Amino acid sequence: MAENLEKVIQEVTARYGKDRTRMMDIVREVQARLGHVSGAAMDLIAREVKSHRVEVEGVVTFYAFYTDRPKGRHVIRVTDCVTARMRHVDEVVAAFEKELGIRVGETTPDGQITLERTSCIGLCDQGPAALIDDVPVTYISSDKVKSLVRVLRETGDAKKLVKTLGEGNNALDLVHSMVINNIRKRGDVIFAPFESGSAIRNAAAVSPAEVIRSVKTARLRGRGGAGFPAGMKGEFARNAAGDRKFLLCNADEGEPGTFKDRVILTEAPDLLFEGMAVAGYAIGATEGILYLRGEYAYLRPYLEHVLEQRRAKKLLGKGIAGKAGFDFDVRIQLGAGAYICGEESGLIRSCEGLRGSPRDRPPFPVERGYLDLPTVVNNVETLCCAARVLEKGAAWFAQIGSEQSSGTKLFSVSGDCRRPGVYELPFGLTVAEFLKEVGGDDAQAVQVGGPSGTCIDRGQFGRKLGFEDLPTGGSMIVIGPQRDILDVAAAFMEFFVEESCGWCAPCRIGNVLIRERLERIRAGKGLPEDLTYLEELCTTVKKTSRCGLGQTSPNPVATTLQNFRKAYEAKLLPARQDGRQPTFDLRAALSEAVRVQGREPVAH
Amino acid sequence: MAKPKVATASLAGCFGCHMSILDIDDRILKLAELVEFHKSPINDIKKFSERCLVGIIEGGCCNEENVHVLQDFRKNCDLLISLGDCATMGGLPAMRNHVPLEECLAEAYLHGPTVHNPAKQIPNDPEIPLILDKVYPLHEVVKIDLHLPGCPPPADAIWEVLVALLNNKPIDLKYGLLRYD
Amino acid sequence: MSDFTFTIDGVEVPANKGQTILEAADAAGIYIPRLCWARDLAPGGHCRVCTVLVNGRPQSACTHPAGPKMVVEHDTPEIRAWRKNVVEMLFVEGNHYCMFCEKSGNCELQAMGYRLGITTPKYPYMFPQRAVDATHPDVMVDHNRCIACGRCVRASRDLDGKNVFQFVQRGHHVRVAVNAEGGLGRTNLSAADKAAQLCPVGAILVKRVGYAVPVGRRLYDVKPIGSDIEAKRAATPSGK
């Protein structure tokens, strides 16, 4: 612990070439060695990389996993995801508080353990879960808390908490995780067997323009949720001026209820890296970055190993597949707990070592992205699809799924269903068919596409999953009949308030205001006019916010107001005749004075 | 026909807004023709005995008595006007909203640089209304029909608003009459 | 000669390639309300008050390039309501005591409230706890009044070349911090810096000059914000 500060900073910054765009890595490593990034450390980092202290502070304080204040040797981060709330995560948190003798946000007096809550960590099908240091711990119940804390204290090593290994690659030494894949349904695109190099060889045999043509013919659309045609995006970047271009893979899935990319990264990384190489070839990029969310740091050693193997097999590096000029390599950039970095321009900023606030567009990343150079950012699943298109042909791919949504889709299924997990299903099935598949027939609602998506009621279960009707990045949270839909909406609003980057006013402030009014209604103090108030507020935030976060963050309230209005109305007070505000509680407002002055209010 | 009645009160305010009402100068005579002042510090009527068309309240709510007066106004007036910054947003008294009540009292009566209080007593007579945890703008306590900010609102603005209300006309303040300072 | 034209609320507006919608509107004498924008600074897109509809889609006019045949909607009841709501949000987010703020009358947030006819925000006041930094001999920062528009951040970085200010934290905890542990007094900010001059509200104030012009005779005491821009339109024959 008592490493010399100056020496540490010099070593760490030197390792990253004193390059300020590697700030994410520098901060991560300084924190790993010193426990936190102090003001003095910020000054030194700034000096070494020729930046400014306040810029370093801006980065350190932006990401949830970085800290400018000392924390315990171990940090327990219990997920606050709505799916975990459904499984009584609050009892787990209470058990931790009791066992550790501290509250959330505090550190044990001996400086050993800090307890925190964190947003969704991508383990919704095996929750309640927590990250203990970098180690995911699943299926926590309050009775397991005692032994978790004991082992952590005794061994000082969170890895020792892993008793039973998950299946598949989770059991590899390099992963060594209790996480399970829970693949419930394998399709032909993502989870079918794949021979490394097959797509690269086919791509190398044709021109980059033909690779793009294939992707267009396959009608491949982005899997992150927005569904932008992948071929078109590639073509924009290919045609953009400049010789140096980048291919970035977005492995920052942070939408509550999403965990499909985790499973791809665990079980099909070769398919993904193959897709990255093919895409790099197509757009003329020789450099790729896999932006891996900080929550999946435990997968990094394995992914680095796969990259090494691919380099050895000439599937990465110079002259890929023996073709002169086919050069492409990948580095892994770890995130640090910021949902907003899943937004492509926020992701780019983070890769540049900056706060992860998105940029204004235009210019679009395909013209000016990473380091202001043409950049394509693709979802993990999209790149896997691209590899498969090159391997098996565009026509083969296009015949799967529906007219506007070709191929299969991975669904991350959690919530009130009998078979949560990952499903690879062709696009175009109805919500009812989907629910049958996952064992959630009695659902009262489904949150399609996570909180930023839409919450639909039973009347809409006939709708089709796909870009033509109900688009989804894959998060499917089944909400059973026993749930209060407003509890779900409240959990989601909590998430967005936490994850807004704060750059623009409506998202920074508006989400807080939406949460306030929703809480008012949940507390039984809402008035009928609060519903129109909320509707107008939601519209303003959606219409005026700068990026996709604020443009969708009111959806948990806006879509439930639309589809579950009765749930709101049931909680409202009748219109009042006396003109008094139900939220003003004189007794409560006086309680402090009663305590301090030691007497009762003057009688009236 | 009886003239419409107007009531006024100053809660946690400085009476500056009432001064501004009086600042309408000779128009006060015209106002007296148009309305009859009921409960108000201007005529010292203490209790509502009749229903009023308009209640004008200056100052925010900082103690229990303020709340009771405000609720009484809400009960007895058809329209409530929140007059001045203290009423609309808490104003200067709301600067204490960032400080816990116990610290406020200690600073005011024990530790402040100008305090002379050898007995070290914080006033606590049973007659003194208890202080609220923070200063509330009026509309957070009761429903308010009309807000006119300003510290104080210009006399012309008050005049325009009253005349429009009494004549059932829309309020359209010309530039410079809506102000926050 | 302009490169092309587009329309704002049906009025044909000339524009040059590279101009933003807001710049073209300004030149044409159409005032689109804005708070975080300032001449000579790269646009920030923070406040969103300049939101317009471009071919039906919301965009910030300060960042969005004008394009040929673009159809821009700006002064509609719907958009006016959004703008008003966003400005009301800014009022409740901070502690804005106009009655003793020395920026009163020259404050763009206040002026925007006047222009949009805000008598009191419909949202509950948050009364946050914020600090005042008076460590600098010539400039003070009152975070109570900050609206996180980022003008000081951009001005210090791009115009002064000093990087005195930057955002720290995130979400509703975002605040502007200074480039030194001990406060503004430990930075190399000078009162002559653009960063000290461009604050639209009373959050960054140069000391000892506040009351050179008395309250009541200040910029927005007399004329609505944007009048200077609108005057251009009134002066041209094509203006209505």
The DSSP code sequence of A66-80 is --SS---SEEEEEE-
How confident is residue B2, by pLDDT bands cut at 50, 70 and 90? confident
Give pLDDT, residue A577: 85
Query: Which residue do the tokens 């300084």 mark?
Result: A30
How confident is residue B1, by pLDDT bands cut at 50, 70 and 90? low
CB contact under 8 A, A54 and C178: yes
Which chain B residues are closer than 8 Å to A589 by Cβ?
A: 67, 132-134, 136
Identify the CATH number of the domain in which residue A278 sits.
3.40.50.11540
Domain boundary among A364, A398, A432: A398
CB contact under 8 A, C120 and B88: yes
Mark C72-86 as b/e (b = at least 16 C-beta within 10 Å). Answer: bbbeeeebeebbbbb
- Are A157 and A221 in the same domain? no
Mean pLDDT rounded to a whole number for chain A:
96
Give pLDDT, residue C234: 74
Nearest to A503 among C46, C126, C177 (CB): C46
CB proximity A222 to C under 8 Å = no
CB proximity B129 to A under 8 Å = yes
Res B11 pLDDT > 80: yes
Identify the CATH number of the domain in which residue A425 sits.
3.10.20.600
Mean pLDDT rounded to a whole number for chain B:
95
Q: Give the three-class secondary structure for A153.
A: helix
Number of domains in chain C: 2
How confident is residue A602, by pLDDT bands cut at 50, 70 and 90? confident
Give rounded-to-5 percent helix, strand, coil for chain B.
Answer: 35, 20, 40
Give pLDDT, residue A386: 98
Nearest to A602 among B122, B129, B143 (CB): B129
The DSSP code sequence of chain C is --SEEEEETTEEEEE-TT-BHHHHHHHTT-PPP-SS--TTS-----S-TTEEEETTEEEETTTSBP-TT-EEE-S-HHHHHHHHHHHHHHHHHS---GGG-TTTTT-HHHHHHHHTT-SS-SSPP------EE--SSSEEEEGGG-----HHHHIIIIISS---EEEES-GGG-EEEESSTT-GGGS---TTSHHHH--SSTTEEETT-TTSS-TTSSHHHHS-TTHHHHHHHHHSTT--
Domain boundary among A461, A479, A497: A479
- Are C14 and C93 in the same domain? yes
- Are C12 and C116 in the same domain? yes
- Are A332 and A419 in the same domain? no
Res A241 pLDDT > 90: yes
- Are A246 and A112 in the same domain? no
Query: Could you tell me which of B81, B61, B86 has the C-alpha nearest to residue B157?
Result: B81
**Which of A581, A585, A587 should one mutate to test binding to chain B, selecting the residue with the greatest count of B CBs within 10 A?**
A581
Nearest to A58 among C43, C48, C166 (CB): C166
- Are A188 and A139 in the same domain? no
The nearest CA of chain C is from the CA of B93 a distance in Å of: 11
How confident is residue A226, by pLDDT bands cut at 50, 70 and 90? confident
Nearest to A580 among B74, B105, B128 (CB): B74
- Are A33 and A155 in the same domain? no
pLDDT digits (tens, 9 = 90+) for C142-190: 999 999 999 999 999 999 999 999 999 999 999 999 999 999 999 999 9
In a domain, B115, yes or no: no
In a domain, B104, yes or no: no
- Are C160 and C204 in the same domain? yes
- Are C114 and C157 in the same domain? no
**Which of B130, B133, B138 should one mutate to test binding to chain A, selecting the residue with the greatest count of A CBs within 10 A?**
B130
Query: Could you tell me which of A223, A579, A543 has the C-alpha nearest to residue A382?
Result: A223
How confident is residue C240, by pLDDT bands cut at 50, 70 and 90? very low
Mark A572-603 as b/e (b = at least 16 C-beta within 10 Å). Answer: beeeeeebbbebbebeebbebbeebbeeebee
- Are C100 and C8 in the same domain? yes
Contacts of C201 (CB under 8 A, 6+ apart): C96, C103, C107, C108, C109, C110, C145, C146, C147
Identify the CATH number of the domain in which residue B82 sits.
3.40.50.700
CB contact under 8 A, C124 and A504: no
Nearest to A497 among C81, C126, C171 (CB): C171
Number of domains in chain A: 5
Average pLDDT over residues A214-237: 95
Owning domain of residue A510: 485-569
Res C237 pLDDT > 60: no
Identify the CATH number of the domain in which residue A155 sits.
3.40.30.10
A:469-508 residues touching chain C, CB 8 A cutoff: 497-506, 508
CB proximity B20 to C under 8 Å = no
- Are A223 and A261 in the same domain? yes
**Which of B132, B136, B146 should one mutate to test binding to chain A, selecting the residue with the greatest count of A CBs within 10 A?**
B132
Question: So what's the ipTM on this one?
Answer: 0.97
pLDDT digits (tens, 9 = 90+) for C78-94: 999 999 999 999 999 99
Identify the CATH number of the domain in which residue C103 sits.
3.10.20.740
Give pLDDT, residue C239: 42
- Are A265 and A123 in the same domain? no
- Are C29 and C142 in the same domain? no
How confident is residue B42, by pLDDT bands cut at 50, 70 and 90? confident
For residues A115 and A97, what is the distance between their CA atoms, to the nearest angstrom?
A: 8
Average pLDDT over residues A117-128: 94
- Are A293 and A349 in the same domain? yes
Res C235 pLDDT > 90: no
Which chain A residues are closer than 8 Å to C195 by Cβ?
A: none
Contacts of A145 (CB under 8 A, 6+ apart): A92, A95, A96, A99
Q: What are phi and psi of A316, to 5 degrees?
A: -145, 155
Query: CB of A416 within 8 A of CB of A439?
Result: no
**Which of B86, B89, B134, B158 should one mutate to test binding to chain C, selecting the residue with the greatest count of C CBs within 10 A?**
B89
CB contact under 8 A, A597 and B130: yes
pLDDT digits (tens, 9 = 90+) for C182-221: 999 999 999 999 999 999 999 999 999 989 999 999 999 9
Owning domain of residue C86: 1-127+213-240
pLDDT digits (tens, 9 = 90+) for A469-479: 999 999 999 99
Average pLDDT over residues A38-64: 97
Average pLDDT over residues A140-164: 96
Identify the CATH number of the domain in which residue C172 sits.
3.30.70.20
- Are A352 and A389 in the same domain? yes
The DSSP code sequence of B18-37 is HHHHHTTTTHHHHHHHH-EE
- Are C191 and C236 in the same domain? no
Its pTM surpasses 0.80: yes
In a domain, B175, yes or no: no
Res A603 pLDDT > 70: no
Nearest to B130 among A576, A579, A590 (CB): A590
Average pLDDT over residues B149-159: 97
How confident is residue A225, by pLDDT bands cut at 50, 70 and 90? confident
Number of domains in chain B: 1
In a domain, A503, yes or no: yes
Which chain B residues are closer than 8 Å to C124 by Cβ?
A: 140
State percent of chain B over pLDDT 90: 94
Task: Name the least confident of A62-71, A335-344, B28-37.
Answer: B28-37
CB proximity B51 to A under 8 Å = no
Give pLDDT, residue A435: 98
In a domain, A595, yes or no: no
Query: Could you tell me which of A567, A572, A544, A571 has the C-alpha nearest to residue A556?
Result: A567
| C237 vs C29, more confident | C29
CB proximity B74 to A under 8 Å = yes
In a domain, A67, yes or no: no
Give pLDDT, residue A2: 45
Nearest to B137 among C95, C96, C125 (CB): C125
Res A189 pLDDT > 80: yes
Owning domain of residue B91: 5-96+132-166
Give pLDDT, residue A555: 97
Cα A366 to Cα A158, A236, C32, C43: the distances in Å are 41, 6, 30, 21
Average pLDDT over residues A90-99: 97
Query: Could you tell me which of C184, C189, C180, C185 has the C-alpha nearest to residue C156?
Result: C189
Res C129 pLDDT > 80: yes
Which chains contact A through at least 3 pairs of Cβ atoms less than 8 Å apart? Answer: B, C
For residues C108 and C199, what is the distance between their CA atoms, to the nearest angstrom?
A: 9
In a domain, A359, yes or no: yes
How confident is residue C233, by pLDDT bands cut at 50, 70 and 90? confident
CA-based end-to-end distance of chain A: 63
What's the half-sphere exposure (Cβ side, CA atoms, 13 Å) at A212?
Answer: 19
Give pLDDT, residue A287: 98
pLDDT digits (tens, 9 = 90+) for A527-542: 999 999 999 999 999 9
How confident is residue A164, by pLDDT bands cut at 50, 70 and 90? very high
Give pLDDT, residue C238: 52
- Are A239 and A346 in the same domain? yes
How confident is residue A575, by pLDDT bands cut at 50, 70 and 90? confident
Identify the CATH number of the domain in which residue A31 sits.
1.10.10
CB contact under 8 A, B130 and A583: no
In a domain, B16, yes or no: yes
In a domain, A306, yes or no: yes
Taken in order A441, A443, A449, A454, is the CA torsion positive or negative? Answer: positive
In a domain, A111, yes or no: yes
For residues B170 and C119, what is the distance between their CA atoms, to the nearest angstrom?
A: 15
In a domain, A27, yes or no: yes
Q: How many CB atoms lie within 10 A of CB A604?
A: 11
